[in-house]
Amino acid sequence: MTDATESRTPDSRPTGGLSAQYQPGEVEQRRYERWVSEGYFTADAKSDKPPFTIVIPPPNVTGSLHVGHALDHTIQDTLVRLKRMQGYEVLWLPGMDHAGIATQNVVERKLAAQQLSRHDLGREKFVEKVWEWKAESGGAILGQMRRLGDSVDWTRERFTMDEGLSRAVQTIFKRMFDDDLIYRANRIINWCPRCLTALSDIEVEHSDDEGELVSIRYGEGDNSIVVATTRAETMLGDTAVAVHPDDERYQHLIGTEVELPLTGRRIPIVADEHVDPAFGTGAVKVTPAHDPNDFEIGQRHGLPSLTVMDERAVITVPGPFEGLDRFEARPAIVAALMEQGRIVAEKRPYVHSVGHCSRCKTTVEPRLSLQWFVKTGPLAKAAGDAVRDGRVKIEPAELSKRYFAWVDNMHDWCISRQLWWGHRIPVWYGPDGEVVCVGPDEQPPTGEGWRQDEDVLDTWFSSGLWPFSTLGWPEQTAELEKFYPTSVLVTGYDILFFWVARMMMFGLYAMDGKQPFDVVNLHGMVRDGHGKKMSKSFGNVVDPLDWIDRYGADATRFTLARGANPGSDVPVSEEWCQGSRNFCNKLWNATRFAMMNGATVTGELPDKSELSAIDRWILSRLEHTIAEVDGYFATYEYAKVCDTLYHFAWDDVCDWYVELSKPVLAAGSATTQRVLGHVLDQLLRLLHPVIPFVTEELWIALTGGETVMKAAWPTVDKNLIDDAAEEELAALQKVVTEVRRFRSDQGLKPSQRVSAALTGLGTVGIDTHEPLIRSLARLDAPGPDFTATATLAVTGAITVDLDTRGAIDVAAERARLEKDRTAAEKEATQCRAKLGNESFIGKAPDHVVAKIKDRLATAEADLVRIAAALEALPQA
* Residues in the annotated binding site: 536
Residue 552 CA: distances (Å) to CA of 440, 544, 694: 47, 10, 10
3-state class (DSSP) for residue 861: helix
> Which residues, at least 6 apart from 622, have a Cβ–Cβ distance to it below 8 Å?
648, 679, 682, 683, 720
**Could you please report the per-residue DSSP string of 33-78?**
HHHHHTTTT---TT--SPEEEEE--PPBTT----HHHHHHHHHHHH
**Could you please report the per-residue DSSP string of 248-260?**
GGGTTTTT-EEEP
DSSP assigned state of 648: I
Of 229, 246, 349, give the one whose Cα is nearest residue 294. 229
CB 472 within 8 A of CB 377: no
Longest pairwise C-alpha distance within the chain: 116
Distance (Å, whole) CA 864 – CA 831? 17
3-state class (DSSP) for residue 570: strand
Of 578, 620, 505, 740, give the one whose Cα is nearest residue 2. 740
Residue 610 CA: distances (Å) to CA of 445, 594, 671, 673: 85, 20, 8, 13
Distance (Å, whole) CA 773 – CA 760? 13
| 159 Rama sector, left if φ>0, alpha if ψ -120 to 50, beta otherwise | beta
Q: Where are the alpha helices (DSSP H) in 86-191?
A: 100-112, 118-121, 123-136, 140-148, 163-178
CB 260 within 8 A of CB 251: no
Bridge partner list, 226: 217
Q: HEC profile for 284-336?
A: EEECCCCCHHHHHHHHHHCCCCCCCECCCCEECCCCCCCCCEHHHHHHHHHHH
Type of residue numbered 291: D
CB 97 within 8 A of CB 459: yes
DSSP assigned state of 714: P
From the CB of residue 122, how many other CB atoms can be counted at a distance below 10 Å? Answer: 11
Type of residue numbered 299: Q
Binding-site positions for ATP: 536
3-state class (DSSP) for residue 191: strand
Residue 836 CA: distances (Å) to CA of 294, 823, 846, 858, 863: 48, 20, 15, 17, 20
Distance (Å, whole) CA 725 – CA 617? 5
Buried b (16+ CB within 10 A) or exposed e, 304-331: ebbebbeeebbbebeeebeebebeebbe
3-state class (DSSP) for residue 698: helix
Question: Sign of dihedral through CA atoms 739, 745, 751, 756?
Answer: negative
Of 631, 495, 359, give the one whose Cα is nearest residue 68. 495
From the CB of residue 807, how many other CB atoms can be counted at a distance below 10 Å? Answer: 18
In the chain, helix, strand, coil percent, each to 5? 45, 15, 35
